[in-house]
Amino acid sequence: MRAIITATRLADELTGANPPVLLDVRWQLSPAKAAGAPAFDGRAAYAAGHIPGAVFVDLDRELAAAPGTNGRHPLPDLAEFGAAMRRAGVSSDRPVVVYDGGQGWAAARAWWLLRWTGHPDVRVLDGGLPSWQGELSSETPTPAEGDYRPAPAPAGLLDADAAAALARTGVLLDARAGERYRGEVEPVDRIGGHIPGAVSAPTTENVGPDGRFLPAAELKDRFKALGVSEDTEVGVYCGSGVSGAHEVLALAVAGVPAALYVGSWSEWSSDPSRPVAVGADPQ
């Protein structure tokens, strides 16, 4: 599965005949932000040093719409998303590599959006910027305008009702930390807990200490233990459709297609009519 790329392979491809477009999507979820503290500044981190040729992409403004009833990171307006990608130099006939500061969540959000809207060749730098051994640049490139036009797939996206149904008929994975799934803590959203029937599957357990994905065989075994088989319909949600995209990426590395509930818990928990389960039991 061409979903991830090593830093060594990326360095080789950047000197090739058709180098990939590089997107820097550094972003961090900070509970302190919800309390009014200053948010992580991805653009400042980019300006201080990035892989040469990379273009900064703002997750909150270009990979999501404004927060609201559809969650903290709802789908972006597709016309605006397409324009942002074209400004970054993205074209349908040129590969794209996305990276972030190492956690992989933000890069996975960009990967998922581009894949869902039809780009044929998008990969995430495994391990993010910390895995890069080459020089860094503080120069902001001005890429030639790309030609990418988003064309969303009919599959791969879940709304709240579809996620609820999938929790009964297939496997719905909750990518958040276990304590949030169990409802023991909730640092961001209105209430804690999980969608009834969803299975706890923290996306942090898909990577090793260095932030790189576990081997595909190990990931496949992990998801099998969570109830995923070859004929299982699989969906993923998280807090706001960011870390969930990272779990969809891990599933792709394991060879398992999965849909993403973008609204995720931030949308579900904001609706008092939606049922909430707490504790370790999915139900």
* Residues known to be catalytic: 238
Q: How far apart are CA 68 and CA 274, in angstroms?
A: 17
Q: Provide the token pair at 133.
A: 């051994």
In terms of Cβ atoms closer than 10 Å to its own Cβ (0-12, 13-18, 19+), residue 231 is: exposed
199 beta partners: 173
DSSP string covering 23-37, please?
Answer: EE------HHHHTTP
Q: Which residue do the tokens 């357990």 mark?
A: 205
Contacts of 187 (CB under 8 A, 6+ apart): 31, 34, 180
The H or E element spanning position 84 is helix 78-87
Q: How far apart are CA 242 and CA 103, in angstroms?
A: 11
Q: How far apart are CA 156 and CA 149, in angstroms?
A: 18
